[in-house]
Structure 1
């Protein structure tokens, strides 16, 4: 277990720092991030200890790359419930978008207090009916952000901590930090170097690796977003403003990875790419197994179940096709019975016509 806290060999001479001294004073943001960075470091060091125990070199690029992948797996696995909740909330918001638009159209141009209050009441009633709010779709993402930022800052701070002979906030001590600093992907690309530094230092191999990773990051992000708008939206949702925003994000979000690929160290880019792959696969599984009703993904799921002799009942459970058909027949009969028993609506008639009908229905006197 000693490998968990200390290096296997003495640290080499630290080079002249090229970054400002990290400092010892904690600002408000650092205080908030401290526990998240401590957790991230503990997970990262655990994986590093595990792989070195299996015989990998402590300062090898493969060891630290696998540790980063292990870190992503642990953190993203813990966030699966929040991810599913976020997907469901976003889906509900997109599904009710047409109804929200009708409410807005109803009160368009009405700026008096009573109209605004009525619009607010109808909007809140709509949210309550569908069990969602705009905040509920954003809350899971806000909960994830501190953990994801903790991962980002832990990996991006390796260079300055190593150059100043410092460790992280927890188990990532100065010796382990130096080993991370020395690690090279494929033995040629240092994990602490970004693309600008690699270009300035004529590290062609590092530049090529970063370019390939950035292209793969953009492709994975594009595919993830495309899965949502092409397969998991009902026809009604495709007419709302939320759908238009999704289409814009389909092309805008991938551009952010160009920035990250240029300015972020290779270790951070590897983390981001691994996280993207996780999100893409996770999104695929959610759409496949929990599709939006009425969407292409839902129809494809129904076809897959039908080929297996199964279907989805009124409660959303997978049942044998015979049971589903019996349920549909029962629901149809109940609907017909309710329709037959419902009181017929009487058409309004004029006074003159009502008088004629009374005279017509009046029994004639005996001659």
Structure 2
């Protein structure tokens, strides 16, 4: 098999066990409510496998988001270094790496989720391929399950192991494969476009990092479109589901925690201001509604109490001249 074959087998064997364990586990779950021999149960198992893997990659995604944000925010400093050391490439590279280290930025972190997924993607591809061609399993996927997996069909006519270039004589396979390839390509493009249009500051749209992002924007979907026609239906399900997860996850992060100075940050500030105004208006209305009523009627004048002559003498003392107490005139 050769040294490279031995290395590949050493790397892939643990992945076969990992992927097959999750796949078989989901198949047991779906097999209790659906036909275990049907393609729907296996298709949902592949989607379940995708969700488990993507959930496990959330820490890497968070690291990717932080690194991408740092790359955007330091672009003005990178431009200053380019102006200062543009004549000395070695010095420019040293200063740029020092800037990355100082700000805790890894320019390759944005590729980590894709790089981690590629071996898993390859392991699933090999499991489906061997199950379809040789009816042999790997890892926890037994030969009996592999045969069942390889022969399973969606909607009774579409083999889950068939591809656009190998439709097994079914036009429906090419139609479904084409739809999945388009969905996979479109979600890849929209995810990258979402990042560039909403979560990149203006300064970062003209630097080398922006050129790299623009390159990925068009190259990655093209690569997936060209390569996707050879992928089995099951692999296309995996990759399309993974892209949908990425798009939704990125939408949530950009909406709730955007990079400063970006259109997404301005949109969040506008939403927060509108929310504050709504809550402020409600608070004022509540305060006015709950203000206690004040009795504004004039106070009733209290009439003086009638006193006898003896009481007036005791309380009034000497009377002013020219006055005659009431009852003295007879």
What's the TM-score once normalised by structure 1's chain length? 0.70
1:93 matches 2:71: yes
**Which residue among 31, 38, 41 is the counterpart of 1:60?**
38
Name the residue aligned to 1:188: 157
Which residue in the other structure is 1:244 paired with? 211
CA 1:242–1:65 in 2, change beyond 3 Å: closer, same or farther?
Answer: same
Gaps of 5+ in 1: 1-21, 311-319, 322-367
Whether 2:145 is the aligned partner of 1:176: answer: yes
What do residues 89-114 of structure 1 show as CA deviations (whole Å, max 9, x unaligned)?
A: 12212332332232122122247xxx
- Please say if residues 192 and 267 of structure 1, whose CA atoms lie closer than 8 Å, have aligned partners that are also in contact: yes
Q: 1:131 aligns with which of 80, 104, 110?
A: 104
Closer, same or farther in 2 for the Cα pair 1:65/1:173, shift >3 Å? same
Q: Equivalent residue of 2:229, what SS? A: helix
Residues 168-192 of structure 1 deviation map (CA, whole Å, 9 limit, x = unaligned)? 1x21001111111111112111011
CA contact (8 A) 2:128 2:150 kept: no
Q: What is the rounded CA distance, in whole Å, between the counterparts of 1:245 and 1:135 in structure 2?
A: 11
1:107 corresponds, among 61, 64, 85, to 85
Alignment match, 1:255: 222
Q: Distance in 2 between matches of 1:275 and 1:287?
A: 18
Q: Distance in 1 between matches of 2:107 and 2:238?
A: 30
Quote the Cα distance in structure 1 between the aligned partners of 2:14 and 2:47.
Answer: 21
Name 1:299's counterpart in structure 2.
266
5+ residue gaps, structure 2: 281-330
- Tell me if structure 2 keeps the 8 A contact 1:156–1:264: no
Give the whole-Å Cα distance in 2 for the aligned partners of 1:197 and 1:148: 19
Q: 2:312 — aligned with what?
A: none
Partner in structure 2 of residue 30 of structure 1: 9
Q: Equivalents in 2 of 1:139, 1:262: separation in Å? A: 25
Q: What is the aligned residue count?
A: 277
Distance 2:26 2:153 in 1: 17
Q: CA RMSD in A?
A: 2.4
- The 3 A distance-change label for structure 1 pair 138 and 208 is closer
- SS of 2:196 mapped into structure 1: helix
Name the CA distance, whole Å, in 2 between partners of 1:190 and 1:62.
11
CA contact (8 A) 2:26 2:49 kept: yes
2: distance between equivalents of 1:144 and 1:221? 14
Q: Is the 8 A contact 1:103 1:122 kept in 2?
A: yes
For 1:32 and 1:228, locate their aligned partners in 2 and report how far apart those are by CA, in whole Å.
33
- Superposed displacement of residue 140, structure 1: 5.5
Taking the aligned partners of 1:186 and 1:175, their CA distance within structure 2 comes to 22
* Alignment partners' CA distance in 2, 1:142 and 1:247: 19
| Superposition pairs of residues 156-305 of structure 1, within 5 angstroms | 156-162=129-135, 166-168=136-138, 170-198=139-167, 201-305=168-272
Kept after mapping to 1: 8 A contact 2:127/2:137 = no
In the alignment, is residue 83 of structure 1 matched against residue 53 of structure 2? no
